[in-house]
Amino acid sequence: MKKLLAAVSVSVLAMTAAANAQVTEEMLANDRTDTSNVVTNGMGRDLQRYSPLETLNKDNVKNLVPAWAFSMGGEKQRGQETQPLVYDGIMYVTGSYSRLYAIDVATGKEIWQYDARLPEGILPCCDVINRGAAIYGDKIFFGTLDARIVALDLKTGDVVWRDKIADYKAGYSYTAAPLIVNGLVVTGNSGGEFGIVGEVQARNADTGEVVWTRPMIEGHMGTLNGKESTMTGTLNATWPGDLWKTGGGATWLGGSYDIETDTLVFGAGNPAPWNSWLRNAGEPTDGNKGDNLYAASRVGIDPHTGDIKWHFQTTPREGWDYDGVNEVVAYTDRSGNKRFATADRNGFFYVLNREDGAFVSAKPFVKDISWAEGIDETGRPIYVEGNRPGNPANATDGGKGEVVFASPSFLGGKNWMPMAFSQHTGNFYVPSNEWGMDIWNEPVTYKKGAAYLGSGFTIKPNYEDHIGSLKAIDPDTGEWVWEYKNEAPLWGGVMTTAGGLVFFGTPEGEFIALDDATGEKLWSFQTGSGIVGQPITWEMEGEQYVSVVSGWGGAVPLWGGEVAKKVNYLNQGGMVWTFKLPKQMAAN
């Protein structure tokens, strides 16, 4: 009887410990080496998307089989661009229309679901997607399309707190996964097509109270503990007149954190409006006077105060909507140098110094860049000014300026879809697209909540046989190791493993594993809808699992012009697919 009571007591204690389990800062810092959980977006706050698991490898990946599938339901499914999180036996997945699901990771059975109550009149730019959540303590955090941040109880899905990031009626929204650093929930914002101002905000994870804010456009004031702190940049140093007040620079993709330099790194998107002639008072670039900082830039931020530590602008005086938000991945190169890498929408793959964001190198990662001849030794583009959209002020009828063909298209050599770094090979695996556009500038004036582009465009494929192109890139040289071509555009994330595998999905619905050294296809599975999500892997009870969310949508069918016509037959429908390598097949 005593043994039975002791067993019951131990069981109760174990259940209590599990119920009280909390995600700590240490767990977040070690996420990329913890193979039993995935508690950060990017499988580590450096965003390498690399797993040290090697049970699943080149020899046995052919034995990977479905374990379960979960339907995200709903009659109006749109793009599912999320990355699942796994913690304490539960998978957490965000969905379109600002939904969040908790799923039993062993069975695929739903535990709870949260649906945000979205108001009428939300203004999402590029589909009603959500790219993921963040876990800290006993709470899970995610953003909503009406520009709010919500904290839910991990076990029940009940709302603990919620707060407003910005005014959705002015065009703000929020779709990125939050970032947790030292007990702060760090968020960006979306809405660059509406003349908003990009900003990074940090809140106390327990209370939701704002600790600091950092705008991304010069002239705007940051705050610290409820009081003004420092101005971003210098007023009117690189912006004419009052255009900085509606200057864009949305931080819509979220950020990364480099623990070794204690630096947050966020990308700031396109300056507003797209019409670069208006933002530079119609004059050619004069030094850096028309650069429009800090739009189209990567910005290093002090996580404690929100002060800017450094910046690097990829496309000064940006005029093609090449943005600047692409993720910045911290890594160490083969010579032991601490580096950042980022593949910009403008078509160039950049390497920066991790200590201060200084320029190291830049090489093309797409084939037909037309807007610039290259990047000079300081990191500035060598523009082909004839491939800048014409000034509408020169139009004789007061209409649009000269139409030019520019490559890549405004959807970018690489858009939001995250690349991966492999510690196994030392290479990056970059999902890219080979397309261009006809683009022209138009007159435009700012109106709250209205599109603020000043440009028109039509996207076109550059090649008949493919648009999508997954490339293995050596960051030390910028050279392409191999290329895997896909007929439709690639719009989902990439993951690498110590088992020598590269996982990604296609709009045609295939979930694929490639050999990281050669690009050879080793395994694939048809999910039934286009994949624009981000894969993860973990182990449970000695078996390796891989998950990805399938569900076609995103910006391509909405903005893709001639390209959209090529993929409008693809089916929507959100599913979480989870695969495993059975123990008995691991050695085969």
Annotated binding site for Ca(2+): 193, 270, 321
Q: How far is CA 141 from the centre of its chain?
A: 16
The label of the residue with tokens 């709010």 reads: 148
Q: Which residues of 21-33 are buried (b: 16+ CB within 10 A; e: fewer)?
A: eebeeebbbebbe
CA dist 549 and 458 (Å) reads 29
Beta pairing partners, 267: 298
CA dist 130 and 409 (Å) reads 23
Query: What is the β-pairing status of strands 468-473 and 428-433?
Result: antiparallel
Instruction: Point out the annotated binding site for pyrroloquinoline quinone.
Output: 81, 131, 175, 415-416
- In DSSP notation, 402-423 reads --EEESS-TT-SS-SS--EE-T
- Are 65 and 580 in contact by the 8 Å Cβ rule? The answer is yes
Write out the E strands in 354-395: 359-364, 372-375, 381-383
- Are 451 and 412 in contact by the 8 Å Cβ rule? The answer is no
Q: What is the 3-state secondary structure (H, E, C) of 124-148?
A: CCCCCCCCCCEEEECEEEEEECCCE
Q: Give the residue numbers marked as catalytic.
A: 321
CA dist 420 and 536 (Å) reads 11
In this structure, what token pair is assigned to residue 332?
């160490």
Alpha carbon of 340 to those of 32, 240, 478: distances in Å? 17, 32, 13
The label of the residue with tokens 């002090």 reads: 302
DSSP tag of 187: E
Residue type at 90 in one-letter notation: I
Instruction: Point out the annotated binding site.
Output: 81, 131, 175, 193, 270, 321, 415-416
DSSP, collapsed to helix, strand or coil, labels residue 289 as: coil
What lies within 8 Å, CB to CB, of 70 at 6+ separation is 93, 101, 103, 108, 110, 575, 576, 578
In this structure, what token pair is assigned to residue 561?
């012009």
Give every strand in the sheet of 543-550, ordered side by side.
Answer: 65-71, 575-581, 543-550, 536-540
CA dist 201 and 198 (Å) reads 10
Based on C-alpha coordinates, what's the Rg of the chain? 23
- With residues binned 3-state (H G I as helix, E B as strand, rest as coil), the percentages for the chain, rounded to 5, are 10, 35, 55
In this structure, what token pair is assigned to residue 341?
């890498």
DSSP tag of 399: S
